[in-house]
Amino acid sequence: MKVLVTGGAGFIGSHVVDLLVAKGHQVVVADDLSSGRQENVNPEAQFYEVDIRSPELEKLFVAEAPEVISHHAAKANVRESMTKPLLYAEVNVLGSLNLLELSRKHGVRKLIYASSGGAVYGEPQYLPVDEDHPIRPLDPYGASKHHVEHYLHLYHVNWGLSYTILRYPNVYGPRQDPRGEAGVVAKFAYQMLRRQQPVINGSGEQERDFVYVSDVARSNLLALEQGDNGTWNLGTGLGTSIKEIFARLKAITGYRGNSMHAPPIPGEVFKIWLDASRARRELAWRPTVSLEEGLRRTVEHLAAMPGEG
């Protein structure tokens, strides 16, 4: 099967590409390299440097004729979205619409959409959060990710484009940019290895549902042939506090310092973890990498980076 992975040079997208290639699929990558890295792209994938908003994207569809799209290209920083809401609407909403229009025009069979289980629901009314929980995002990033979900349904009803919506938890692992705003695991581990001072925003009592990147990538493989026209949470069903992440990484890295605290980030949910029982039942998906093992793998990857450790 020929699969186009948008954002395939990025953190999660590149792991999706690797898994698809390993399973024998033909893979095409579209990425503008605004946050992704070309060295992340599997050498067996066909790479196009292109913005999903660009009219140039159609050239890829003409040349490659993808059957399925795994859509990961997005702006994905909650803090940045609070100050640049127009940019997040342009990239995440209008860019996705450009992709949907090209999918309709060029006969794409299905689009697998990476949505956000951590941002679309807002502050939970109950925990763990299932797919029927009200949608009340607190930041423009979450709003932009959910907005596209409506268009997916619309394109299915009117033009027969199948879709699978995967609402991701807090994903961590190798290739997550430790110098960006997103990714507390990568950021803390990177700083601890370099004996820098990690800073916890807020009290550290915030809780998130952490899932290792290879488990999230596998959900995209499962969605190639099943899960049409529905929405699935991914997650462990357990919350882990930021303070616990700090403590576990401190033990793994041998860091001797203590945490510092800064004000909380506006727009961030305080506590959320996801009910993924529907994904277990209907997609046969479940996380397989424990938090401790995933943290160790992440630290090993960062320690091996040039100049780290």
Catalytic residue among 113, 141, 172, 255: 141
Q: 256-279 pLDDT, tens per residue?
A: 999 999 999 888 899 999 999 999
Would 284 be classed as within a structural domain?
no
Residues 151 and 268 in one domain: no
Sheet of 26-31, strands arranged across: 46-49, 26-31, 2-6, 68-71, 110-116, 162-168, 230-233
Residues 36 and 129 in one domain: yes
Would 148 be classed as within a structural domain?
yes
- pTM for this predicted structure: 0.96
The answer to whether residues 52 and 74 touch, using CB atoms and an 8 Å cutoff, is no
Whether 141 is a known active-site residue: answer: yes
Torsion of CA 234, 238, 244, 248, to 10 degrees: -70
The least confident of 77-81, 186-190, 250-254, 285-289 is: 77-81
How far is the C-alpha of 232 from the C-alpha of 11, rounded, in Å?
21
Would 282 be classed as within a structural domain?
no
Domain that holds residue 188: 175-208+238-273+289-304
Q: How many separate domains does the chain show?
A: 2
Q: 222-261 pLDDT, tens per residue?
A: 999 999 999 999 999 999 999 999 999 999 999 999 999 9
Residues 200 and 217 in one domain: no
Residues 129 and 186 in one domain: no
Q: 139-183 pLDDT, tens per residue?
A: 999 999 999 999 999 999 999 999 999 999 999 999 999 986 668
